Amino acid sequence: VDIYLHQPKKNIEYLRFVNLLCEASHSRRKTVKKWLKDRNVPRSSARYEIAEVIGVSISQLFPLSEENQNAPV
């Protein structure tokens, strides 16, 4: 995911990645872009769908902080 944070916002790969996450999570582009900028985190059902589509475990994509086990870092 970090690789997409450094891509120009109009880069076709970035846009495809955003669209992929939108489709997988049934979320709006604006919402997905906030996730990518670390402003918000996806709801738990969306985290599962994103992890499945990307092929990475949920714990790798959304590690839990030590202080609050319910909130990703």
Residue 5: the pLDDT is 59
pLDDT tens for each residue of the chain, 73 residues long: 565 556 566 688 888 999 999 999 999 999 999 998 888 889 999 999 999 999 999 888 888 754 434 454 4
- Model pTM? 0.70
List Cβ neighbours of 44 (8 Å cut-off, separation of 6 or more). none
Q: Which residues pair with 52 in a beta bridge?
A: none
- Contact present, 50 and 25 (Cβ < 8 Å): yes
Residue 30: the pLDDT is 94
Residue 41: the pLDDT is 87
Residue 20: the pLDDT is 94
